[in-house]
Amino acid sequence: MYLSKNLFRNKLLLYSISALLSFTLHSCAYDSSDDNYIDIKKPDGNVNISIDLAGVNQSQTIYLYQNAYFYYTINAGGKNIIAQKFYLDGKELNTNPQDGGTYLSTGIADNQIHDLKLIMGLPTGTGSLAEYAGYEMYVGELNFKVKFVSSPDVNLNIRESVDENNYYKVEWDKPKDYDVECYKVYKGDYMADNLVATINNPDQSYYVDKDYVYGYKFYTISAILKNGQQVSLTDRFTARHFDITENNFKTERISTNEMKIKWTNPNPYPCKYVLKYGNNNESKVIEGTNEVTIPVDKFPAWSVSYSLYILPANADVTQYQTYPYTYGYFSDNQFNYGITYGADLANNLLLGLGFDNLVKYNTSDFSIQSSVKHNLTLHTGCKVKVSNKGLVAISDLSNYVHIYSDNTLSKEIFFTNTQGNYFYLNNANQLLIEQYTGFDLYNITSGKKICSKRWTPENPINDISVKTRISANGKYIYALCAEYLPEKHWAELYELQSDNTLHLIQTQSNVNIKSIEFNPIKDSEAIIQYNDNKFAIVDLSTGSTITIDGAFQNIDPFTGNLLYKGPEYANSQYNVYVLASDYKTLFMKIPLANINPYSDAGLYNNNLIFNGYYLNLAKLTK
């Protein structure tokens, strides 16, 4: 075996500015007998290599995470690297270098600059025993200035505002004591596909998002540090907004088949809307306004749903379903009067009778004005009647009728037992109680029965039934009589004299009359409903008659307008009509929904009441 006379360990020099590593060979003198050695050629004293720090400038401070991978690639000119060691501030780190880098675990995050040194060894290629023994190699060092970041997650104090055009603006604080290269803004989490903006100006610590107008949106803001190996300072933020709720919507029926939706948007961002509605998912684009008119079901409608999508001002409306939305419902107005209701003309109110209270409703919008406890025990068949003078009559569970001086119910002035029969309170301070074969008439002021009449059948073994009505002023009493086996129907009209006796004015034989009512505000006017789906309005003082096809419903006690169901109602075409008080002018035709269509309809101050809903006809445009 021959040993090289030039047994040595070489010291290598680093030139870091040029990114070239220059290794210089230094030899040592060794005295020995020339007989024991053979001279070999001394290796070249300079070895040049280069290092790539994944694009980082090694001459500047490098940002690294305190526990992260340190990426580097060494070009050793074809030589193998046989040893690598890292030192931080002179202390060796426990590392395991691999191709492409090594994991550095420092645990340091003091925002100070530290010295990182990489010492490496390369073979000399002499083939000497010293080289094989590890005593001969090129040794060099790389020195870096580094600053460690504890974690990518920091508090950037993200907040929101609007720019000068009211677009949504996300702002944050520029990280202190760090050199920022740029900011990256992501929608959602930190993913390349979610990148929405790169801000190359490190002093621009805000982002204006013209695409955010409503709903949930999650932002990730990353401050990319200069000269860092994938090092960033990251914070996350969820956009805050004011919800558009049912309280922001105002819906109203504007015609028999249209409704208007208005809404307020508490968020200031420029936007447009798409409204989706109807069973076929129709849609309308709304720009520059916060209201829209759409078709609506027949009255009364309930739970008509719609969805309002909120889009950025420049959005493609064909993609509206990808944007956030809110929703609402339309229902016609409900009139929750309780058991029954009556018109209080003296106070321009409707009185709703409930099981515990008498509720007073404003007749313009049916809002509750007040209520009073009545202290009566009631059932669902109890009634409330109100005279045009404001007297109030209420029947109770025991079939007693209680009459009060006004709607405060503070003074009861009369009561009597009705036996569960129909009763009527007129404007002459009289109470008519219908009996099966006649009627009784009371003077409320005196509490006395002032008139009574019974009818008897021609054949004593037969039954007879009598339905009676009295005019508002107490002057006229109509009796509709029916006898059976054989069947016989007739009507008698009486006039009540000053001495409370009855004067028969007219008898009609073999009548085809279903019912008779008096006009609540015209004393001499009666409405006679016939069985053949016609009714007549008769002026009892003149005998003039107006006959109309259909089923009479009521005279509006506030306006005098007349409500009736059209003749086609019997053929499942549920239309009601309102005639002006002259009974000639058609005020409005209203198609009704097919819900309990045989329920009675009522008209009060031009509010149509049907199946517990009401519709202000005066507000309809057509």
Q: Residue range 137-144: average pLDDT?
A: 87
Measured between alpha carbons, how far is 218 from 398 in angstroms, rounded to an integer? 67
- The answer to whether the CB of 286 falls within 8 A of the CB of 292 is yes
Q: Is the dihedral of CA 550, 255, 602, 609 positive or negative?
A: positive
What confidence tens digit (pLDDT) does each residue in 152-166 have? 899 999 999 999 999
- The answer to whether the CB of 606 falls within 8 A of the CB of 579 is no
What confidence tens digit (pLDDT) does each residue in 428-447 have? 999 999 999 999 999 999 99
Q: Is the dihedral of CA 12, 14, 18, 20 positive or negative?
A: positive
In this structure, the dihedral spanned by the alpha carbons of residues 371, 372, 373 and 376, taken in order and rounded to 10 degrees, is -100
**What pLDDT sits at residue 15?**
31
The band of 18, judged by pLDDT with boundaries at 50, 70 and 90, is very low
Q: Is the dihedral of CA 595, 597, 599, 604 positive or negative?
A: positive
**What pLDDT sits at residue 403?**
98
Quickly list H helices, 54-178: 129-133
Measured between alpha carbons, how far is 109 from 147 in angstroms, rounded to an integer? 8
- The answer to whether the CB of 564 falls within 8 A of the CB of 579 is yes
The band of 186, judged by pLDDT with boundaries at 50, 70 and 90, is very high
- The answer to whether the CB of 472 falls within 8 A of the CB of 385 is no
C-alpha angle 440-446-450 in degrees, rounded to nearest 5: 30
What confidence tens digit (pLDDT) does each residue in 558-589 have? 999 999 999 999 999 999 999 999 999 999 99
Instruction: Pull the structure tokens for residue 180.
Output: 């920022």
Measured between alpha carbons, how far is 252 from 246 in angstroms, rounded to an integer? 13
Measured between alpha carbons, how far is 310 from 289 in angstroms, rounded to an integer? 13
The band of 42, judged by pLDDT with boundaries at 50, 70 and 90, is low
Number of other CB atoms surrounding residue 57 within 10 Å: 11
Give percent of the chain with pLDDT exceeding 70. 92
What confidence tens digit (pLDDT) does each residue in 406-428 have? 999 999 999 999 999 999 999 99
Measured between alpha carbons, how far is 421 from 401 in angstroms, rounded to an integer? 10
Measured between alpha carbons, how far is 305 from 328 in angstroms, rounded to an integer? 6
The band of 20, judged by pLDDT with boundaries at 50, 70 and 90, is very low
What confidence tens digit (pLDDT) does each residue in 378-407 have? 999 999 999 999 999 999 999 999 999 999
Which three-class secondary structure state does DSSP give residue 129?
helix
**What pLDDT sits at residue 441?**
98
- Cβ within 8 Å of residue 5, ≥6 positions away: 30, 32, 34, 37, 38, 39, 40
What confidence tens digit (pLDDT) does each residue in 62-121 have? 999 999 889 999 888 778 888 899 999 999 999 999 888 999 999 898 889 999 999 988
What confidence tens digit (pLDDT) does each residue in 187-216 have? 988 777 799 999 999 999 999 999 999 999
Q: Residue range 123-141: average pLDDT?
A: 80
**What pLDDT sits at residue 16?**
30
**What pLDDT sits at residue 461?**
81
Provide the whole-model pTM.
0.78
| Strand order across the beta sheet in which 476-483 lies | 464-470, 476-483, 488-496, 502-509
Q: Residue range 143-150: average pLDDT?
A: 92
CA 402 to chain centre: 47
**What pLDDT sits at residue 139?**
84
Instruction: Pull the structure tokens for residue 209.
Output: 């998002």
- The answer to whether the CB of 606 falls within 8 A of the CB of 589 is no
Measured between alpha carbons, how far is 494 from 451 in angstroms, rounded to an integer? 12
Measured between alpha carbons, how far is 344 from 373 in angstroms, rounded to an integer? 17
Number of other CB atoms surrounding residue 19 within 10 Å: 16
Structural domains of the chain in order of their starting residue, each with its CATH number: 20-149 (2.60.40.10), 159-238 (2.60.40.10), 246-331 (2.60.40.10)
Q: First CA to last CA across the chain, in angstroms? A: 118
**What pLDDT sits at residue 259?**
96
What confidence tens digit (pLDDT) does each residue in 324-351 have? 999 999 999 999 889 999 999 999 999 9
In this structure, the dihedral spanned by the alpha carbons of residues 305, 311, 317 and 319, taken in order and rounded to 10 degrees, is -80
Higher-pLDDT residue of 541 and 229 is: 541
Q: Which amino acid is at 4?
A: S
Which residue carries 């550095």 as its tokens?
Answer: 104
- Mean predicted lDDT score pLDDT of the chain: 90
| Strand order across the beta sheet in which 168-171 lies | 159-162, 168-171, 206-209
The band of 458, judged by pLDDT with boundaries at 50, 70 and 90, is confident
Measured between alpha carbons, how far is 138 from 135 in angstroms, rounded to an integer? 10
What confidence tens digit (pLDDT) does each residue in 252-261 have? 999 999 999 9
Instruction: Pull the structure tokens for residue 340.
Output: 């029954």
Measured between alpha carbons, how far is 267 from 160 in angstroms, rounded to an integer? 12
Measured between alpha carbons, how far is 493 from 506 in angstroms, rounded to an integer? 5
Instruction: Pull the structure tokens for residue 150.
Output: 């504890």
Give percent of the chain with pLDDT exceeding 90. 76
Buried/exposed code over 247-256 (b: 16+ C-beta within 10 A; e: otherwise): ebbebebebb
The band of 528, judged by pLDDT with boundaries at 50, 70 and 90, is very high
Q: Is the dihedral of CA 565, 568, 574, 577 positive or negative?
A: negative
Measured between alpha carbons, how far is 221 from 204 in angstroms, rounded to an integer? 12
Measured between alpha carbons, how far is 488 from 481 in angstroms, rounded to an integer? 8
Q: Is the confidence at residue 308, as pLDDT, over 50?
A: yes
The band of 509, judged by pLDDT with boundaries at 50, 70 and 90, is very high
Measured between alpha carbons, how far is 157 from 574 in angstroms, rounded to an integer? 64
**What pLDDT sits at residue 49?**
75
Measured between alpha carbons, how far is 348 from 607 in angstroms, rounded to an integer? 13
- Residue 26, sorted as left (phi over 0), alpha (psi -120 to 50) or beta, turns out to be beta
**What pLDDT sits at residue 47?**
66
Which residue carries 């073999």 as its tokens?
Answer: 510
What confidence tens digit (pLDDT) does each residue in 212-265 have? 999 999 999 999 999 998 899 999 999 999 999 999 999 999 999 999 999 999
The band of 598, judged by pLDDT with boundaries at 50, 70 and 90, is confident
- Residue 496, sorted as left (phi over 0), alpha (psi -120 to 50) or beta, turns out to be beta
